[in-house]
Amino acid sequence: MSENGRKRALKGSVAVRCKNDWLGLRWTWGGQRYEISLGLVDSRVNRTVAERKAKLIEQDMLTERFDPTLERYKPQIQTSEAVSAVELFEKFVTWKSKQVGEEDSMLKYTACLSYTRQYFRKLPATISEEQATQFRDWLAKKLAPITVRERISSLRSCWRWGMRRKLVAENPWQEVKVKVPPKQRLNPFTKEETQKILKGFSTDPWYAYYTDFVEFLLSTGCRIGEAVGLRWKHLSADCSEIWIGESFGRGKRKPTKTNKARWFELSPRLKDMFLARKKTGSYRPDDLIFPARRGGAIDDKTFNKYAWKTILEQVGVPYRMPRSVRHSFVSNAAHQGLTPSEISDITGHSEETIFRHYLGSVRGRAKLPDLLKD
């Protein structure tokens, strides 16, 4: 006789059974046979949950608290069997798109949905932690660790959302971790390198068109999309102050990355640069300050591929992506004595981010003592 069979033979005992990979309980009480489905896929973790529920029923029978209607023992989530993992994530993506609105911000969720469909197919949303871990390992064969971590984070958020809406009872992703190897700290452009870059643009017959755009980036540490999206109405009348509360990318205007605006005073050099641009022709408040050569907005990828890479190579500056200008600005500004609060007002970085990612390099690296010196 099997272990489950022996358990069923014992008076007052509740047997854990598995039927078509689903766990349930079966027992007899008062001469009547009872059976309930737990809505859990068979796994090591879920069997522990099932055994815990079985002990509860056994204790109730022993203390004469048994509920013959079984309402006390049924799963709290009655709809979980009807919702598949894919359906749950589809519902979550639909809800998320209404909250976020921006198509670009939804890309990570739609990408995760694609992998969820490939792997889980018609499996119910009541997956186990073991299945979640297996999915992580499957993803790790296809994606970089940092991307895998992002996908797992999306799934963790989805199941958390599902629990709030009574679609699932547990979150199998809660303890699924992804180790991401540390990345070397960005090497900021030095003051000499930034001068070389600016001179390279200003003297190049073709790319001199972007000199003012590059000078603005080097001087403010703005995100590329924020600089691309700047309009004349974002400047004060005398061009001494600027408001940054919008960004432009992939053909769409949107809020800044942090969804917060900032307003700060420009340096005399930048003020004069903007005033000089205003004198070159008529403009309207909604016109871009730094349009592309052929009109419209500058495409960051095209700018990086052609203008930026070409000039850096010409002036002998090791290549770093244009976004490294932001990191360089913060580091150089801190070197010149600006406080984290002032840097935060200009760049939009939180003071915590500035302390964590930048000020360490400004204060200098830890120095190893010579412990073997006589």
Cβ contact 25:74 at 8 Å: no
How high is the pLDDT of residue 75? 67
What's the confidence (pLDDT) of residue 334?
78
Residue 8 has pLDDT above 60, yes or no: no
Report the distance separating Cα 126 and Cα 149, nearest Å: 21
Mean pLDDT for the stretch of residues 100-124: 86
Listed residue (136, 143, 141) closest to 178, CA to CA: 136
| Residue 370 reports pLDDT greater than 70 | no
What CATH number matches the domain at 191-362, 3.50.7.10, 3.40.50.720, 3.90.950.20, 1.10.443.10?
A: 1.10.443.10
Q: Residue 39 above 90 pLDDT? A: no
Q: d(Cα 338, Cα 333) in Å, to the nearest integer?
A: 6
- Dmax (CA) for the chain in angstroms is 97
Q: What's the mean pLDDT in 79-108?
A: 79
| % residues pLDDT > 70 (the chain) | 87
Q: How open is the CA angle 197-201-203, to the nearest 5 degrees? A: 115
**77-86, 295-304, 338-347: range with lowest mean pLDDT:** 77-86
Q: Find the mean pLDDT for residues 29-40.
A: 82
Higher per-residue confidence, 45 vs 222: 222
Place of tokens 């660790």: 145
HSE-CB at 241 with a 13 A cutoff on CA atoms is 8
Adjacent-strand bridge partners of 40: 23
Residue 47 is predicted with a pLDDT of 86
The packing angle between helices 324-335 and 211-220, to 10°, is: 50
pLDDT of the residue at 156: 96
State residue 142 phi and psi, 5-degree precision: -115, -30
What are the residue boundaries of the structural domains of the chain, listed by start? Answer: 3-75, 81-164, 191-362
- At 2, the pLDDT band (50, 70, 90 cuts) reads very low
Give me the pLDDT at residue 102, please. Answer: 63
The crossing angle, in degrees rounded to 10, of helices 340-347 and 324-335 is: 150
Q: What's the pLDDT tens digit per position in 174-223?
A: 999 999 988 777 788 988 999 999 999 999 999 999 999 999 999 998 99
pLDDT value, residue 292: 93
Reply yes or no on whether the pLDDT at 260 is more than 80: yes
Residue 361, pLDDT > 90, answer no
Q: Report whether pLDDT(369) > 80.
A: no
Cα separation of 339 and 260, whole Å?
20
User: Which of 96-100, 115-119, 358-362 is predicted with the least confidence, judged by mean pLDDT?
Assistant: 358-362
pLDDT at 3 over 60: no
pLDDT at 313: 97
The 8-class DSSP code of residue 307 comes to I
- Give the model's pLDDT for residue 6: 40
User: Is the pLDDT score of 346 beyond 70?
Assistant: yes
Res 299: pLDDT:
93
Q: Are 9 and 1 in contact (CB under 8 A)?
A: yes
What angle separates helix 211-220 from helix 191-203, to the nearest 10 degrees?
160
